[in-house]
Amino acid sequence: MREKVEEVLLQIRPQLQADGGDIALVDVEEDGTVKVELQGACRGCPMSQMTLAWGVERVLKERIPGVTKVVAV
């Protein structure tokens, strides 16, 4: 599943980079939890939780069966 998550993050990454941010995959756990690190402008942005939930998590859940949630670490 890790490879699939990496592929989807590559598709999402340009949108984050356009706003001065980025995202890095930290881990994919057996229960479907995806751990990511928000970088750049996304790191301290007050909207980062919205981006994570309504952007990254939504897309990963739609495209990869088994993803249960996405958390920033």
Is there a contact between 35 and 55 (Cβ–Cβ < 8 Å)?
Answer: no
CATH number for the domain harbouring residue 36 = 3.30.300.130
**35 lies in which domain range?**
2-72
pLDDT at 4: 97
Average pLDDT, stretch 1-29? Answer: 94
Q: For residue 7, give the nearest of 34, 47, 40, 45 by alpha carbon.
A: 34
Q: Average pLDDT over the chain, rounded to whole? A: 93
Per residue in 34-64, pLDDT (tens digit) is 999 999 988 888 888 888 888 899 999 999 9
DSSP 55: I
Total count of domains within the chain: 1
Percentage of the residues of the chain whose pLDDT score is greater than 90: 74
